[in-house]
């Protein structure tokens, strides 16, 4: 979700990559739908694992949630940032309502990060 939203907001101004610590085999269809509602597209994305070489070369690595663990290489040039995102299911909110709240939380964080990275 974050990568699709970042691509929507930053376009070609930033290099944007997406990977997971424990990637599944397919995209979450509710995530795809929620992102489409926001005017972004993640429908052609595929879950993929983290590439250690990519970790070495990027300026920022963003980890979503508490559970995912990423070990940055000693020679990484960038920094790691953890986003403790809202989890509506803890309040009994499920389905598309949950996904929209998650999307909006991530979208706000993505926009703030883009502003920071582009010096705005």
* Per-residue pLDDT in tens (0 to 9) along the chain, 120 residues: 999 999 999 999 999 999 999 999 999 999 999 999 999 999 999 999 999 999 999 999 999 998 999 999 999 999 999 999 999 999 999 999 999 999 999 999 999 999 999 997
Q: Give the architecture-level CATH label for domain 1-118.
A: 3-Layer(aba) Sandwich (3.40)
- Going 9 to 36 to 46 to 104, the CA torsion angle's sign is positive
Global model pTM greater than 0.75: yes
Question: What was the pLDDT predicted at 120?
Answer: 73
User: Whole-angstrom Cα distance, residue 97 to residue 112?
Assistant: 23
Provide the angle, in degrees to the nearest 10, between the axes of the packed helices 29-37 and 95-117.
60
**How far does Cα 12 stand from its chain's mean position?**
17
């Amino acid at each position: 979700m974050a990568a699709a939203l970042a691509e929507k907001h930053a376009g070609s101004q930033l290099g944007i990559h997406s990977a997971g610590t424990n990637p599944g085999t397919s995209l979450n269809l509710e995530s795809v739908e929620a992102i489409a509602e926001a005017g972004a597209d993640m429908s052609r994305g595929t879950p993929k694992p983290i590439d250690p070489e990519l970790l070495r070369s990027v300026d920022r690595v963003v980890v979503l949630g508490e559970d995912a663990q990423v070990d940055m290489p000693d020679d990484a040039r960038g920094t790691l940032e953890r986003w403790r995102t809202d989890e509506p299911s803890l309040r009994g909110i499920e389905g598309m309502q949950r996904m929209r709240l998650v999307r909006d939380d991530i979208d706000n964080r993505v926009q703030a990060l883009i502003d920071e990275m582009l010096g705005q």
